[in-house]
Amino acid sequence: MSRIGKLPILVPKGVKVVQKEKVLTLEGPKGKLTYKIPDAIDLVLGNETIEVKRDSDQRTARSLHGLVRALVANMVHGVHVGFQKSLEISGVGYRAEVSGNVLRLVVGYSAPIEYAIPKGVDVKVDKQVNILVSGADKEQVGRVCAEIRKIKSPEPYKGKGIKYVGEHIKRKVGKSATK
């Protein structure tokens, strides 16, 4: 039995849980999320809990048991509290700004890069170098951060570029002068 899969998921007040056939819908203060449950997995909805059960001991059912429980727990947390990730820009003249649903990045290219912010994700810029990405869907928040970081990933010599807050960039030694 999966150690993670057998743990019940506590549903906080303010989160509405609806299951129609194999589609789970969660609605809370931060948004609304839906998930199609795989055939080998069943959900048991209680008053304030959700339990994930599997139909059989087949390999696919066992592998999906913990995964589905983790995904549903992330959905509950996302619609109730939300997820956020931070990025920081380092480099002389590098900056960012948000106008409408477009993030403009000036990161050393000949023209500013414009990134269209998808629905369900909120992007804020602080002091032109700190980017805060937040939303209800953990996967979408992570994907948006990865796409923004990919625009100008940090280089190993001076560390210029876009990186996650707290990320350590392994530095290389540059060329040395010889006599």
pLDDT digits (tens, 9 = 90+) for 22-64: 999 999 999 999 999 999 899 999 889 999 999 888 999 988 9
Q: What is the pLDDT of residues 59-84, one digit of tens each?
A: 999 889 999 999 999 999 999 999 99
The whole-angstrom separation of Cα 62 and Cα 80 is 28
- pTM, rounded to two decimals: 0.87
Of 18, 51, 80, the position where a domain reaches its end is 80
Question: Any idea what the CATH number is for the domain that residue 69 is in?
Answer: 3.90.930.12
Structure tokens that stand for 90 in this block: 């380092």
Give residue 176's pLDDT band: very low, low, confident or very high (50, 70, 90): confident
Structure tokens that stand for 20 in this block: 């129609």
Examine the domain organization and report whether 74 and 93 are in the same domain: no
> Would 155 be classed as within a structural domain?
yes
The number of distinct structural domains making up the chain is 2
Q: How far is CA 57 from the centre of its chain?
A: 31
| Residue 155 backbone zone (phi > 0: left; psi -120 to 50: alpha; other: beta) | beta
Give residue 131's pLDDT band: very low, low, confident or very high (50, 70, 90): very high
The whole-angstrom separation of Cα 45 and Cα 74 is 16
Question: Virtual CA dihedral for 55, 59, 63, 65, nearest 10 degrees?
Answer: 10
